[in-house]
């Protein structure tokens, strides 16, 4: 099998989804960890220092390009797979209706959950990343005060609600995605399945609670 066959074969596409997904999972851990500095209760000093480190070095800016490439690969490949699955199934649906016994609802709704996360992401980048990078002039110029920006954005209950819905969609997307990625890569034999499921659940719960608590903490003035 040559490379062009690999990328268009169904196994190749699943491997690409799994690898890009695992990269994004790693990014979310770093992102939540850095953002957790808002709970240092120091007026955002530590958080802004962490943000400055992430946004002001050439290495980080190159990694950032990689991050966006992975996001795009994951989204495009996900859309292609969903459309192909739909056209294969046609309008007939499955021959045997398995109902809820075949799979969980969120496993069957990965595309719609992904779309919700994408909408959240567009709004989210518009809130922080775009103002910050345009202030920096795309090179390594002066950054905005991201802590102050968060305080302002999350004083609006509409954004608090939207972020909560976005992160709930992320929770269900990852509930399927984490295990599915390991299965695709052949890492879920019966010896490791319990460990992978437990690690996936702990990761998912911790990350999503942390993300949901950020807008809520600002809204209720628990951090200022
Ligand atoms: C819900 C709580 C969240 C808060 C408060 C938050 C906050 C922030 C802030 C302040 C930045 C700006 C960083 C910068 O410009 O240097 C940022 C960047 C970013 N966030 Fe979030 N974020 C949250 C959740 C998420 C989630 C769930 C995702 C992904 C699904 C995400 C994806 C991103 C991406 C891709 C960037 C740009 C990364 C970069 O700077 O290169 N964020 N976020």
Angle (CA) 68-24-64 rounded to 5° is 35
Question: Can you tell me which residue has the tokens 């007939």?
Answer: 92
Whose C-alpha lies nearest to ligand 1, atom 3?
211
CB of 167 closer than 6 A to ligand 1? Answer: yes
Question: Can you tell me which residue has the tokens 């120091």?
Answer: 42
Ligand 1 atom with minimal separation from the 154 CA: 5
CB of 70 closer than 6 A to ligand 1? Answer: no
The pLDDT score that the predictor gives to residue 100 is: 57
Question: What domains can be seen in the chain, in order of their start residue?
Answer: 13-88+105-219 (1.20.1300.10)
Length of the chain: 224
How does DSSP assign 27-40, residue by residue?
HHHHHHHHHGGGGG
CB of 146 closer than 6 A to ligand 1? Answer: yes
Whose C-alpha lies nearest to ligand 1, atom 31?
121
CB of 129 closer than 6 A to ligand 1? Answer: yes
Torsion of CA 26, 29, 35, 36, to 10 degrees: -160
Q: What is the pLDDT of residues 117-146, one digit of tens each?
A: 999 999 999 999 999 988 877 666 788 999
Ligand 1 binding pocket mutation candidate from 26, 31, 115, 156 (most atoms within 8 A of CB): 31
CA distance 108 to 104: 7
Per-residue pLDDT of the chain (224 residues; tens, 9 = 90+): 577 777 778 889 899 999 999 999 999 999 999 999 999 999 999 999 998 888 778 888 889 999 999 999 999 999 999 998 888 766 555 555 555 567 899 999 999 999 999 999 999 999 999 999 888 776 667 889 999 999 999 999 999 999 999 999 999 999 999 999 999 998 877 788 889 999 999 999 999 999 999 999 999 999 98
Cβ-contact 14, 184 below 8 angstroms? yes
Residue 185, token pair as written in the block: 């890569």
Ligand 1 binding pocket mutation candidate from 48, 57, 122, 128 (most atoms within 8 A of CB): 128
Torsion of CA 117, 118, 120, 124, to 10 degrees: 130
């Amino acid at each position: 099998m040559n490379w062009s066959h690999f990328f268009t074969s169904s196994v190749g596409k699943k491997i690409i989804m799994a690898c890009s997904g695992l990269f994004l999972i790693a990014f979310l851990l770093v992102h939540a960890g850095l953002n957790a500095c808002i709970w240092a209760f120091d007026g955002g000093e530590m958080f802004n220092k962490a943000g400055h480190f992430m946004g002001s070095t050439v290495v980080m800016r190159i990694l950032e390009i990689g991050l966006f490439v992975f996001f795009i690969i994951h989204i495009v490949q996900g859309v292609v797979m969903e459309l192909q699955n739909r056209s294969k199934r046609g309008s007939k649906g499955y021959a045997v209706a398995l109902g809820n016994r075949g799979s969980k609802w969120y496993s069957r709704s990965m595309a719609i959950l992904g779309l919700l996360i994408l909408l959240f992401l567009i709004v989210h980048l518009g809130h922080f990343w775009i103002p910050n990078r345009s202030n920096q002039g795309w090179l390594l110029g002066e950054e905005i005060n991201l802590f102050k920006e968060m305080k302002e954005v999350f004083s609006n209950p509409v954004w608090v609600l939207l972020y909560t819905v976005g992160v709930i969609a992320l929770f269900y997307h990852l509930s399927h995605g984490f295990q599915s990625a390991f299965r695709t890569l052949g890492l879920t034999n019966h010896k490791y399945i319990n460990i992978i499921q437990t690690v996936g659940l702990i990761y998912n719960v911790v990350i999503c609670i942390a993300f949901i608590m950020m807008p809520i903490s600002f809204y209720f003035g628990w951090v200022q």
